[in-house]
Amino acid sequence: MLLKLIYLTSAIVSILLTIRFALVFFAQADADLLSWDQAARADEVVRLAK
């Protein structure tokens, strides 16, 4: 019983924490995270096209 309680609490807390982090991640992802890689990729495409 106690063991189940421990696992259940851990599962709930870690899922909530993951959601919290996912929200932070996706909020930044569009704005900043992808910009550099996309820019780099675009440069690469231009370079190859030349």
Partner 1 sequence: MLPFCLILGPSLSAAVIPSFIAFPLTVLAILFLYENSYEGSAEKKLMGFSFLFALSVTSPLLVSSASWVMVEIFGVLLTSLVFGFYFQARQSNLSKSYKICAILSFLLLTLKYNYGLFVLLVLFFGEITRNLDWIRSQRFSLKTFRPLFKPVLYPAYALFFLIMWIALTEGDKINVFGFKLSLTNIYNPIMYLYLYLLIVVVFKLKKNWLKIKEKLKIGQKELLLWGVLPVGIFLALPDKIKAIIKNLEAGRKVKSGFSLEQVMFYLRSLGQDYSLFLPLGIFVLVLFGLAIIKIKRTPSGIRYLMLFFLLGYVLIGFIFQLREGRFIANFVPALWVISAWMVDFISKKISIKYKAIVAAFISILAIVISLFSPILVHKAKKQPWAPWARHQMIYRSLINPVIEKAENAQNVFVSGNKDLGFGPLLEWKLQIAHFKQRNFKLKLDDLDAEKNNDHTFLEMINRADIEMIFFYIVQEGESENRLKRWTQLLKQSDRYELIEEEFYEEPKPFHLLIFSKKFTFSS
Binding site for partner 1 (CB under 8 A): 2-3, 6-7, 9-11, 13-18, 20-22, 24-26, 28-29, 32-37, 40, 44, 47
The distance of closest approach from Cβ of residue 5 to partner 1 in the complex, given in angstroms and rounded to an integer, is 9
The distance of closest approach from Cβ of residue 49 to partner 1 in the complex, given in angstroms and rounded to an integer, is 14
Burial 23-43 (b: 16+ CB within 10 A, else e): eeeeeeeeeeeeeeeeeeeee
The distance of closest approach from Cβ of residue 50 to partner 1 in the complex, given in angstroms and rounded to an integer, is 12
> Closest Cα to residue 10, out of 40, 43, 18?
18
